[in-house]
Amino acid sequence: MNKFTDIHCHIIYGIDDGARDAEEMHKLIDLYVKDGITCAYVTSHLTPGLKQFDFDLYNARLQEARVYIAEQGYDLELKSGAECLYSDAMSQYMRSHELPTLGESAYVLVEFMPNVDKRTLEHAIKRLIEEGYYPIIAHPERYSCMSYFYPGRLKKKYDVILQCNADALLGSRRKLTAHKVNYWVKKGLIGRIATDSHRLPGRVPHMTRAYAHLKTNFGEAVAQKLCGEVDI
């Protein structure tokens, strides 16, 4: 069975709009193991200026999830992280170098409002890089400025990783979005596929399906690069 790393999920409970309680968190963890995911970065929403991020509660819930995994004897490692919503209020985290990164790395998962314009997006990327971060853009398929060709121009200008959601790749929501994501994969513009799992029943992991789709349409090397095990 293939082993996968998920760099974007919301499976611990009581932090954001992810799992609603411990039982749902446990069920999501069960699904992760069944789906072949052996490492997941738990990226709860950080929304500077809108809601204070409770780091103590986050760490406590993350540890609670790890205890459940150990009790079940699962081969699944959970690592820390956050999905950081870009805004002017995020500047304080950047300047003080307090942005939660993926694990112990300099990679930071950042999301934008759906109507973000190119100027704002590139300004954010530039600032993050200047502060020593390596930005990973969460679900670019959601942003109105992300045309078929803009990611190519963006990656030529900046050292940035684009992370698309498995559901978008597979066309679970919108066929036109799936066409665009698959075009980006074909052009080598996507750095990772992630689950963005939140809660039952609809937002659950589909890494096995995503891997199979990639392998069939783009080859095993591409599938492994986008879904396989990776140490950020």
- DSSP for residue 86: P
- pLDDT for 91 equals 83
The distance in angstroms from the start CA to the end CA of the chain is 22
The pLDDT assigned to 172 comes to 65
Query: Region 65-90: what's the mean pLDDT?
Result: 96
Cα–Cα distance for residue pair 117/182, rounded to 1 Å: 22
pLDDT, position 49: 78
Note the pLDDT tens digit of each residue in 28-62: 999 999 999 999 999 999 998 778 889 999 999 99
Q: Is the pLDDT of residue 93 over 80?
A: yes
Please check whether residue 232 lies inside any domain of the structure: no
Q: Is residue 44 part of a domain?
A: yes
Question: What percentage of residues in the chain have a pLDDT greater than 90?
Answer: 87
Mean pLDDT to the nearest integer, 113-126 = 97
DSSP-assigned letter for residue 7 = E
- Whether 187 maps to a domain, the answer reads yes
Q: The tokens 């999905």 sit on which residue?
A: 83
Give the torsion sign (CA, 178, 197, 117, 80): negative
Whether the per-residue pLDDT at 169 is higher than 90: the answer is yes
How many Å apart are CA 181 and CA 162, to the nearest integer? Answer: 11
Share of the chain above pLDDT 70, in %: 99
Q: Within 10 A of 181 (CB to CB), how many other CB atoms are there?
A: 26
How many domains, the chain?
A: 1
Mean confidence (pLDDT) of the chain: 95
Average pLDDT over residues 9-22: 97
Of the candidate ranges 30-44, 45-59, 148-162, 203-217, the one whose mean pLDDT is the lowest: 45-59
Is the pLDDT at 173 greater than 80? The verdict is: no
Residue 168 maps to a domain: yes
CATH number of the structural domain spanning residue 67: 3.20.20.140
Nearest by Cα to 102 from 73, 75, 136 = 136
Residue 217 Ramachandran class (φ > 0 left, ψ -120 to 50 alpha, else beta): alpha
Q: How far, in Å, are 12, 17, 77, 96, 142 from residue 183 at the CA level?
A: 33, 30, 32, 38, 15
Q: In which domain, by residue range, is 14 found? A: 4-227
Q: Give a three-class secondary structure readout of 112-177.
A: CCCCCCHHHHHHHHHHHHHCCCEEEEECHHHCCCCCCCHHHHHHHHCCCEEEEEHHHHHCCCCHHH
Other beta carbons less than 10 A from residue 92's beta carbon: 12
With respect to residue 189, please indicate whether it lies within any of the assigned structural domains.
Answer: yes
Q: Is the pLDDT of residue 96 over 90?
A: no
